[in-house]
Amino acid sequence: MELLFVALGGALLGIGARYLLPGRHSHGSVLVPAVGTAVASIAWVALTWFGLAWDGGWIWWVSLGLAAVTSVAADVQLGRSRTQGDRRMLHTLMKTGHPGHA
């Protein structure tokens, strides 16, 4: 049951990263929340395997902290990557290498 709550927390952190950071037009609406959910869940399971108790505070802080950091990093990286790719494609299509010149 606790894994469900940590997964929900990871999804909410991913949604927050998606809508609070710029560049959300450059990737799908579910990608960053899915990253947050997956990271929180995987971290939770790994930490339980390492012996952290589910009712302790550290497992929650580490799992949700990793989810938040990873969601922000994924959102920023996806935005940069997509913007650079779009810019390269524009330059290729224009055949001059400079936007605005025919």
**Is 74 contained in some domain?**
yes
**Is 102 contained in some domain?**
no
H or E element, residue 25: none
Q: How far apart are CA 25 and CA 90, in angstroms?
A: 17
**Is 101 contained in some domain?**
no
pLDDT digits over 66-97, tens only? 999 999 999 999 999 998 988 888 888 777 66
**Is 62 contained in some domain?**
yes
Q: What is the dihedral of CA 50, 54, 60, 61, to 10 degrees?
A: -50
How does residue 58 score in pLDDT terms, banded at 50, 70 and 90? Answer: very high
How does residue 27 score in pLDDT terms, banded at 50, 70 and 90? Answer: confident
Domain carrying residue 81: 1-17+29-94
- When divided into structural domains, the chain yields a total of 1
Rounded mean pLDDT of the chain? 90
With a cut of 80, say whether residue 99 has pLDDT above it. no
**Is 88 contained in some domain?**
yes
